[in-house]
């Protein structure tokens, strides 16, 4: 079977469907190259001297890992000279990062979480990179933070890379979800699955059960029903899976179905939720919806939310359509 590289796939999409402009294709390739460099750093682990805390904190007040900082730098440096983006925004930076050199400036905005699940790095559990592409507002010479405050429906591409036993890139440009696996010998991402689909029904759920006492009544009701198994109102057994790395948890759901939840609770209510709208919720919601799933806050569709600030947090419930609709219905 002939192998199809990421580059070939994007060119074929560009020719056949016209939904990828050349600049967007090149931008995705730059991000993919940066992810390969991050994959090498993650793979070296202690041998590369990249484990442990960096001794700094991000704007959310979280301690940064050395690999957080390194991954952020890799993505910034890769996109500074490419000529495809006007500005970048990262979960690890207080404000957006404008491209200063006019010759290296493009028409897109790149948003990313450079290393999702980084608390798992030191124990050798899968982590990943999440990214989202928006169009830079027309007529704005130097986009600032406000330029990024676009609803998720405005995304032109979204993807994530999971650094596990193999390194995988999962991507959507608005016409389905496709998976690419890094061939380390060739040094390129190769198409390994087209048109990934999330089953509408599932027997798996993913939630941080240690927060159970803080959940709102609709979520407590839903999880209690799942835990009751065959003897309960759902009349079947459910399994719980929790990696504490959104990339790993959602990748499992996209691969075989399930529901991922980080709902609103009394601990996170004051800040609006746990996960970041621009860096995590929006790109993952676009991918999940493109794969036939659903993504809500429990009260409304995530992609319809109008962001109010760069580091806004929101509740997240996403995955198999019928389960997401059920728990959202309990909120209503």
CA 163 to chain CA mean position, Å: 13
Helix (H) or strand (E) holding 323: helix 321-331
The answer to the question of whether 274 is labelled as a binding residue is yes
Of 173, 192, 172, 171, nearest to 181 (Cα)? 192
**Would the annotation count 325 as a binding residue?**
no
289 is in an annotated binding site: no
Q: Is 201 known as a binding-site position?
A: no
Task: Say whether 208 counts as a known binding-site residue.
Answer: yes
Question: Phi and psi dihedrals of 182, rounded to 5?
Answer: -75, 115
Q: Which residue has the tokens 């979280």?
A: 62
Neighbour-count burial for 137-154, b at 16+ CB within 10 Å, e otherwise: eeeeeebeeebbebbbee
Q: Is 117 annotated as a binding residue?
A: yes
280 labeled part of a ligand binding site: yes
Bridge partners of 128?
116, 162
User: Is 29 a known ligand-binding residue?
Assistant: no
Q: Where are the beta strands (DSSP E) in the chain?
A: 53-57, 63-65, 85-90, 97-98, 108-116, 127-135, 157-163, 167-172, 177-183, 188-193, 204-207, 239-240, 259-262, 275-276, 294-296, 313-314, 316-319
Q: What sign results for the dihedral spanned by CA atoms 24, 247, 313, 37?
A: negative
Contacts of 165 (CB under 8 A, 6+ apart): none
DSSP state of 168: E
Would you list which residues are annotated within the binding site for substrate? 116-119, 208, 274
Binding-site entries for Mg(2+): 91, 113, 115-116, 280
Can you say which residues are annotated as belonging to the binding site? 91, 113, 115-119, 208, 274, 280
């Amino acid at each position: 079977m002939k192998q199809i590289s990421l580059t070939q796939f994007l060119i074929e999409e560009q020719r056949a469907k016209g939904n990828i402009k050349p600049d967007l294709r090149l931008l995705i390739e730059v991000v993919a190259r940066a992810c390969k460099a991050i994959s090498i750093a993650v793979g070296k682990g202690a041998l590369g001297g990249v484990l442990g805390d960096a001794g700094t904190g991000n704007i959310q007040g979280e301690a940064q890992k050395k690999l957080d900082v390194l991954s952020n730098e890799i993505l910034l440096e890769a996109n500074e000279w490419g000529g495809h983006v006007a500005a970048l925004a990262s979960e690890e930076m207080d404000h957006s990062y404008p491209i200063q050199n006019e010759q290296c400036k493009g028409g897109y905005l790149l948003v990313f979480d450079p290393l999702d699940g980084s608390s798992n790095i030191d124990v050798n559990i899968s982590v990943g990179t999440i990214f989202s592409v928006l169009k830079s507002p027309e007529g704005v010479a130097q986009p600032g933070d406000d330029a990024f405050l676009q609803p998720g429906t405005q995304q032109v591409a979204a993807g994530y890379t999971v650094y596990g036993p193999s390194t995988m890139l999962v991507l959507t440009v608005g016409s389905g979800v496709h998976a690419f696996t890094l061939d380390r010998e060739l040094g390129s991402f190769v198409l390994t699955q087209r048109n990934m689909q999330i089953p509408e029904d599932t027997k798996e759920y993913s939630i941080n059960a240690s927060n159970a006492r803080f959940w709102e009544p609709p979520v407590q009701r839903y999880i209690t029903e799942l835990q009751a198994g065959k003897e309960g109102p759902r009349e079947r057994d459910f399994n719980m899976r929790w990696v504490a790395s959104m990339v790993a948890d959602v990748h499992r759901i996209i691969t075989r179905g399930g529901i991922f939840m980080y709902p609103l609770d009394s601990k996170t209510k004051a800040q609006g939720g746990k996960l970041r709208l621009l860096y995590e919720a929006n790109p993952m919601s676009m991918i999940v919806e493109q794969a036939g799933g659903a993504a809500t806050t429990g009260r409304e569709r995530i992609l319809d939310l109008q962001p109010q600030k760069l580091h806004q947090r929101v509740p997240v419930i996403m995955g198999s359509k019928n389960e997401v609709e059920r728990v959202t219905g309990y909120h209503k």
